[in-house]
Chains A and B, each alone.
Chain A
Amino acid sequence: MASDEVKVIGAWASPFVMRPRIALNLKSVPYEFLQETFGAKSELLLKSNPVHKKIPVLIHADKPVCESNIIVEYVDETWSASGPSMLPSTPYDRAIARFWAAYIDEKWFPSLKSILKAEGEEEKKAVLAQVEEGNALLEKAFIDCSKGKPFFNGEHIGYLDIAFGCFLAWLRVTELAGGHKLIDEVKTPSLSKWAERFCNDPAVKPVMPETATLAEFAKKIFAKPPA
């Protein structure tokens, strides 16, 4: 009989990996964290995610679930009795949460990444403008979704909080590297307060890397070879 064990294959620096870990923490589900070595892929990863060969992978009772946002929904549904729902209760609000999570992955995060990779002032300015436009949209989305409550999901951290919040450490690293604030009390006051609440939550704190540690790591992986 397969054990009910839960494993997460991932890496400490990956924001996508943070998503299932936060979800499992919110539902108080113990799990084994199997870290991949940067630059190499384990047998277990290749076996569990043969299609994409990517992290995170959740393995529950020997069955793999792939794609971070899909894993979060799976955790929410499987351990529904163990904590508040991570998605809103109405189909419409759920569709809105899913819409913004998709937007974050398809548009927002790629533009954030390109700030760190941008070469030259012109390119940097252009990508910064894109991210700021995105942040303005997300600031409004927060106000609409939260309806006066502390999180996108209302009283408790949920799917969209996790989908966006997982990038906060990388966002801070990007701000440091660029010398430019992206989420702050002036431009995005609601998001700024939400970010602090999110990062300080006991389900999030243990898995969110320290900005300094992540900045060091970023330097290594984005290091340009000597000219």
Chain B
Amino acid sequence: MADEVILLDYWPSAFGMRTRIALEEKDIKFDHREQDLFNKSQILLEMNPVHKKIPVLIHNGKPVCESLIQVEYIDETWPKGNSLLPSDPYQRAQAKFWGDFIDKKVSGPTWVLWGGKGEEQEAGKKEFIEVLKTLETELGDKTYFGGETFGYVDIALIGFYCWFDAYEKFANFSIEAECPKVIAWAKRCLKRESVAKSLPDSDKITKYVPELKKRLGME
């Protein structure tokens, strides 16, 4: 019996990109349903009543919420093909630690980079660079965060990369100047089909920001 896999998503979301990449890595066919977050659909409200957020992965009618939980679910449900998490318990704990770090520390300061100004934006820039430098140290000279294999931590972080041009433009700084290793890592990830398919063009994001600000009443 064929699996029915639906993903409720929003094209600029770095979180939605995580789940798309995971599904692509496992070569899973899915119905990608773009959501209007300013006018939430019945299915979104039914499938994620607690948070009412995307992404929502619906597998044979049953919803899984929270992007990193979805990535792990995908890895466990479709164990064939590329493993997204290491099999060693200590390595798994390290991967989850960094996924959690990215969740707590990366998305926080980023809104102020494209949507903020003045001192608040300056503080956000500083915080963002510090966080990226910590990640850079963790990456070291490895190809990917997990070593030679693309996986969970790479997936957790890479979606933010398509927003970098927007951050640089609206906050007036160069991420590559501060964190060249992160940029090099991102470019390596983009060579993978799963990532190239799942990340929108940076241009598209940058062009979208003024509209997003307007819709959020952030002018």
A residues lining the B interface (CB < 8 Å): 51, 60, 63, 65-67, 70-71, 73-74, 77-78, 91-92, 94-95, 98-99, 102-103, 137
Contact = CB atoms under 8 A, between A and B. Distances in A.
A98 B64 CA distance: 10
Interface stretch (B71-79, B145-153, B195-203): B71-79
B72 A98 contact: yes
A73 B66 contact: no
Interface string B65-106: 110011011001100000000000110110011001100000
Interface of B: 50, 59, 62, 64-66, 69-70, 72-73, 76-77, 89-90, 92-93, 96-97, 100-101, 134
A87 B167 CA distance: 40
B10 to A, nearest CB: 19
A67 B100 contact: yes
A73 to B, nearest CB: 7
Q: What 5 A-B pairs have minimum CB-CB distances, sorted nearest first?
A: A77-B89, A91-B76, A74-B93, A95-B73, A91-B77
A90 B93 CA distance: 20
Contacts of A103: 50
Contacts of B59: 92
Contacts of A102: 66, 69
A74 B92 contact: yes
B-side interface mostly: helix
Given A51-B101, A65-B97, A103-B50, 16 more contacts: A63-B90, A66-B97, A67-B97, A74-B90, A91-B73, A91-B76, A92-B59, A92-B64, A95-B70, A95-B72, A98-B69, A98-B72, A99-B65, A99-B69, A102-B66, A137-B50
Q: Which of B59, B77, B90, B101 has the most CB of A within 10 A?
A: B90
23 contacts: A60-B90, A63-B90, A66-B97, A67-B97, A70-B97, A71-B93, A73-B92, A73-B93, A74-B89, A77-B89, A78-B90, A91-B73, A92-B59, A92-B62, A92-B73, A92-B77, A94-B73, A94-B76, A95-B73, A98-B69, A98-B72, A99-B65, A103-B50
B144 to A, nearest CB: 19
Contacts of A60: 90
A137 B51 CA distance: 12
A99 B96 CA distance: 14
